[in-house]
Structure 1
Amino acid sequence: MFKMQFSKAQNAGHLLAQVRGYALLVLAACALSACGFHLRGSTGKTSLPFKSIYVALPESSPLGAELKRNLRAGGDTTVVADPKAAQVVMEVLSEAKNKQILSLNSQGRVREYSLTYTLVFRVKDSQEREVLAPTEITLKRAISYNENQALANESEEALLYRDIQTDLVQQLMRRLGALRLAP
């Protein structure tokens, strides 16, 4: 009989611990929502301070294609094919990818590379006034290298450059969203 009462008390204690756990979880969720915390979300969903833009990048450019796709997904901003028809023009002054040796192993062979993607751009309005002075964005990633897996290293490098490009487009979208146009 004593074992049976101990078992019931143990079950009640376990149930009480579960209820406390759920209560703490609900309390934490309420506290997070009350403090104003929210995920950043996609910057492409915010409205931009201009109605039309011309992006001076070739149609074959992967960066240009991804940037235009994000601009179109943004809502009320249209990407136009003629710079004269645009409210703002984004000019790319330079775009460069670079690969440098980051570290060597004890035999003097490459162990890591540093991948760098640099973009310099500016934004002008329809009256050729600079809305955003020439701005440089440089993103870097480190990649390990194994000479026995050359094909896998090339694939990883291409994947990292695509990742860098996606980050670059998100930074461009944030900077374009922060522009202040003169009336």
Structure 2
Amino acid sequence: MMDRRLLLSSLSAAVLAGCGFAPRREPELHFRSLGLQGFRPGSPLAVELKRQLGRTPVQLVEDFNKAEVVLEAKRDERDKTVVVSTSAGQVREWELRLRVDYLLRTAAGEILLPLTELRLTREMNYTESDALAKEQEEAQLFRAMQSDAVAQIMRRLAAVKLPS
């Protein structure tokens, strides 16, 4: 019985390896140090970005002049607007938005990645009777958008090659 399980698990692993399946890895970055600039104080996006960068060999540097590259945030904001409301003015649907504009440059000011605009939106239905649950749903949707934005930024950082 035990040999059969071992055989099945080995066979499953071989099939997955043969189809090209591989666990997702952190993107490989082609620079040694990075400075973050322009993010608003306490930005959840900056916190998540630092966490993701901590999984790579890249060193986060506080002094931008000593960083090999600088990720400069021009905009880092979240907001929500009413999409649908009743004739009585009760909100029925919100649109949640995350906006991030950034560029990547060297410490000397040479642009490596021009101004890039990330716009993520999610719609969320709403009822006053479920206000607490909807508040938690909103926070969860913002976290998901933030994770998507960080993943996109990390992929773009991985594509950057420093000039020789």
TM range (shorter): 0.7 to 0.9
Take 1:111 and 1:151, find their aligned partners in 2: how far apart are those partners? 15
Larger helix proportion of the pair: 1
Take 2:31 and 2:10, find their aligned partners in 1: how far apart are those partners? 42
Match of 1:174 among 136, 155, 158: 155
Match of 1:88? 69
**Alignment of 1:79 onto 2:63:** no
Change (3 A) 1:27 1:127: same
Quick one: percent identity of the two aligned structures? 36
Give 1:92 shift.
Answer: 0.4
TM-score under structure 1 length normalisation: 0.75
Change (3 A) 1:116 1:26: same
Output aligned runs, 1:85-164, within 5 Å: 85-104=66-85, 109-164=90-145
Match of 1:70? 52
Change (3 A) 1:59 1:95: closer
Q: Where in structure 1 are there 5+ consecutive unaligned residues?
A: 1-21
Take 1:105 and 1:30, find their aligned partners in 2: how far apart are those partners? 57
Amino acid across the alignment from 2:157 = L
Give 1:88 shift.
Answer: 0.3
Give 1:104 shift.
Answer: 4.2
Secondary structure, aligned partner of 1:60 = coil
Give 1:33 shift.
Answer: 2.6
Take 1:72 and 1:26, find their aligned partners in 2: how far apart are those partners? 33
User: Greater shift after overlay, 173-182 or 115-124?
Assistant: 173-182
Q: Where in structure 2 are there 5+ consecutive unaligned residues?
A: 1-6
Change (3 A) 1:106 1:31: farther
Once the two structures are superposed, residues 90-148 of structure 1 have per-residue CA deviations (whole angstroms, 9 ceiling, x without a partner) of 11011222212333468764322111101000010122110000000111112110111
Provide the aligned C-alpha RMSD in A. 2.6
Q: Could you tell me whether the CA contact under 8 Å between 1:47 and 1:77 is conserved in 2?
A: no
